[in-house]
Amino acid sequence: MKDTFLKLSVKLQTLMMREEGQDLIEYALVVALIAFAATVGMGKVASAINNAFISIQTALSANVS
């Protein structure tokens, strides 16, 4: 029983020492940050495009009438 517990303890310690999963988490955080920034940026671009179309509509309706 002690032997099995010792083997389990050694395996847990080696798993905790590995840093491979840490890189994956860091990449996921970077991707999430980029996605958030892109979403915010797209909202501002969409607002600017909407304002441009509204000004075009206003100019056209003033000249057509």
User: What range defines the domain where residue 44 resides?
Assistant: 1-64
DSSP 7-60: HHHHHHHHHHH--HHHHHHHHHHHHHHHHHHHHHHHHHHHHHHHHHHHHHHHHH
Buried b (16+ CB within 10 A) or exposed e, 7-41: eeeeeeeeeeeeeeeeeeeeeeeeeeeeeeeeeee
Distance of alpha carbon 13 from alpha carbon 6, whole angstroms: 11
The percent of residues above 70 in pLDDT, for the chain, comes to 86
pLDDT of residue 19: 65
pLDDT over 90 (residue 12): no
Domains held by the chain: number: 1
pTM greater than 0.85: no
For 13-26, write each residue's pLDDT tens digit. Answer: 776 676 666 677 88
pLDDT band at 11 (very low <50, low <70, confident <90, very high): confident
